[in-house]
Structure formats: structure tokens, C-alpha cells
């Protein structure tokens, strides 16, 4: 039987799935973007065989802060809505709960952005046109990259750490935005969170990885997609960070799905996918990149 984090990780994949034929992409599998504890941290790269625009989108492979692996040949169809538009897609994995904490997952995906930007020439992408998206925990990690990134440490010994981990556009599906109210000492903590080892943290620890805390005016354009009937990550998470974005004058949009819970199906799934793709098309174009330099 699959665990709850594994089930959540599959929900988004199913929502995007559709048949794929031919060789629409080339696959660069198991690219190593870092190491820890003697283990490799990896991502898969899907590059359109025709009409690649040079813009990149990172997908956070995460559900319950658990990051699973699947053969990229079996997952490439998930990203076809993006690769059909010329985006190069990176499926980024991080160290999984319960072995690794949320903070460590955040550090992993930060490094992935730095590594991809440093090696942009390898995949013929523009380092100034990098987007990120994910669902649930993946959405949380995407928002952390949007709100709490930096320009890198110029004095770091590791050349990867000298590079910025900022991203240029974000899409977050049903994303937790304030981990403090999900922590083990939160007074109104939902019982469902007892099933997630990653959330066995106190409010003080949770604050350091709560995107809501870090919203500032220089955050990238961010699209939020949320279900009004979500009983795992209530829609208030998305509404609260949307209000913070508005206060900080950050370009943002929240699309609420009236009858959806923690994940979308049918017409909602298609609408969400279309909105996600349109967001990246709008904010990762050549004109947008030039204007942001």
C-alpha cells in the first residue's frame, strides 16, 4: 500500500497525463546536481526536439516532502503541455522525508536551481528565464524558491553556491504557505498532519520554511491554484499569501476551483494545466526576460 505522501505525489502526475507518441523530447536522465551523505541528488531533463525557446521550467517532484523516482521515459508525457510550447523541463528530486527534513528539501531544490543556472549552456537555456512549479509540498518548495532565494555567495568554495537560486516565475498548486499552523505545537493543527513525518516540527522551526513570512516586492510573478474544498491544505493558505503578494505589489493571481479538494480532476485539471502553461508563456518570454535584466 502506498503511503499518503506517495499518493499525493501521484495526484498531480495523473492530472497532467495524456498519451504521447513520437520523439517530442530528448531526455537527459539522472543528472547529478549535488551530493550529500554519499548519495546523489538528481533531476531528469526533457528538451523539445523542435522549437525549443530556451526557457526552462523546473517541476518539484514532491508530495508530503517525499520525492519519488520513475523512469523518465514513463513520465515525459506529463510535461508535454510545456514541452509542446518549447519549454525545457527539469524534474527535480530532493531528499525525502522522513530521512530528510523540510529544511533539507528546501536546501536541495535551491541547489538544483543554482546548478541548472550555472550549466545553462549545457541545455541551451536562458539563465534569466527559469520558472518553477509543483503541487502540495512541491508547490510549497516552488514558493520558497520564489520568496526566499538569494544571489549566491561570491566567496563560496563550491562554484555552484556562488550562483543565484532566484527564479523568474512560479506556479503553486494547493500549496502550504505557512508551516507554523501545521506544526506539532500549533493549537489548531489538523489531525491529518500526524501522517506526515516532515511536519513533526515546532512553530519556530516551521517559520524558517514558511513562504508567507518571506514575501517581498522583488518576488517573481506567481500563480496560485487552489481547491475551495481542500481539507488537507485549506484554501486560506493560498488566499493569505495572495494578500501578502498584493500588499507587496508582486504580480500574482489566485484561481480558486469551487468544487475541488486537494488536487484537480476532469475539467478542473485541464483548466489548471492551461493556466499554468499560459503563466509561463506570459512571464518567461524573451520580452519579459529582457525587461527584467
pLDDT in tens, the chain (293 residues): 334 444 444 444 444 444 343 468 999 999 999 999 999 999 999 999 999 999 999 999 999 999 999 999 999 999 999 999 999 999 999 999 999 999 999 999 999 999 999 999 999 999 999 999 999 999 999 999 999 999 999 999 999 999 999 999 999 999 999 999 999 999 999 999 999 999 999 999 999 999 999 999 999 999 999 999 999 999 999 999 999 999 999 999 999 999 999 999 999 999 999 999 999 999 997 554 444 44
Q: 26: which residues sit within 8 A by CB, 6+ positions away?
A: 46, 47, 49
The single-letter DSSP state of residue 242 is H
φ/ψ (deg, to 5) at 69:
-115, 140
Distance CA 20, CA 17 (A): 9
pLDDT for the residue 19:
38
pLDDT for the residue 287:
56
E strands, the chain, where? 25-36, 39-48, 56-60, 88-92, 130-135, 169-173, 222-227, 252-257
pLDDT for the residue 143:
98
Beta-strand relationship, 39-48 and 25-36: antiparallel
pLDDT for the residue 285:
78
CB 141 within 8 A of CB 109: yes
Distance CA 208, CA 43 (A): 25
pLDDT for the residue 293:
40
pLDDT for the residue 15:
44
pTM score: 0.91
pLDDT for the residue 211:
98
Distance CA 284, CA 274 (A): 15
Amino acid at each position: 500500500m502506498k503511503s499518503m505522501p506517495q499518493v499525493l505525489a501521484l495526484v498531480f502526475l495523473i492530472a497532467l497525463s495524456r498519451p504521447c507518441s513520437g520523439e517530442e523530447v530528448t531526455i537527459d536522465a539522472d543528472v547529478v546536481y549535488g551530493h550529500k551523505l554519499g548519495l546523489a541528488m538528481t533531476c531528469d531533463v526533457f528538451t523539445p526536439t523542435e522549437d525549443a525557446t530556451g526557457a526552462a521550467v523546473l517541476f518539484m517532484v514532491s508530495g508530503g516532502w517525499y520525492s519519488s523516482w520513475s523512469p523518465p521515459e514513463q513520465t515525459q508525457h506529463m510535461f508535454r503541455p510545456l514541452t509542446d510550447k518549447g519549454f525545457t523541463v527539469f524534474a527535480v528530486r530532493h531528499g525525502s522525508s522522513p530521512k530528510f527534513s523540510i529544511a533539507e528539501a528546501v536546501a536541495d531544490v535551491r541547489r538544483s536551481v543554482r546548478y541548472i543556472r550555472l550549466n545553462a549552456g549545457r541545455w541551451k537555456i536562458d539563465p534569466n528565464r527559469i520558472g518553477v512549479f509543483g503541487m502540495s509540498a512541491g508547490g510549497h518548495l516552488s514558493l520558497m524558491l520564489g520568496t526566499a532565494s538569494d544571489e549566491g555567495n561570491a566567496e563560496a568554495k563550491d562554484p555552484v553556491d556562488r550562483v543565484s537560486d532566484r527564479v523568474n516565475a512560479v506556479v503553486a498548486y494547493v500549496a502550504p504557505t505557512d508551516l507554523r499552523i501545521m506544526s506539532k505545537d500549533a493549537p489548531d493543527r489538523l489531525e491529518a498532519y500526524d501522517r506526515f513525518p516532515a511536519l513533526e516540527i515546532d512553530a519556530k522551526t516551521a517559520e524558517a520554511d514558511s513562504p508567507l513570512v518571506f514575501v517581498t516586492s522583488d518576488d517573481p510573478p506567481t500563480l496560485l491554484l487552489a481547491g475551495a474544498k481542500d481539507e488537507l491544505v485549506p484554501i486560506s493558505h493560498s488566499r493569505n499569501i495572495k494578500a501578502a503578494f498584493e500588499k507587496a505589489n508582486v504580480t500574482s493571481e489566485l484561481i480558486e476551483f469551487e468544487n475541488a479538494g486537494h488536487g484537480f480532476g476532469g475539467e478542473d485539471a485541464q483548466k489548471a494545466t492551461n493556466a499554468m502553461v499560459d503563466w509561463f508563456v506570459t512571464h518567461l518570454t524573451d520580452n519579459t526576460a529582457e525587461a527584467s535584466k
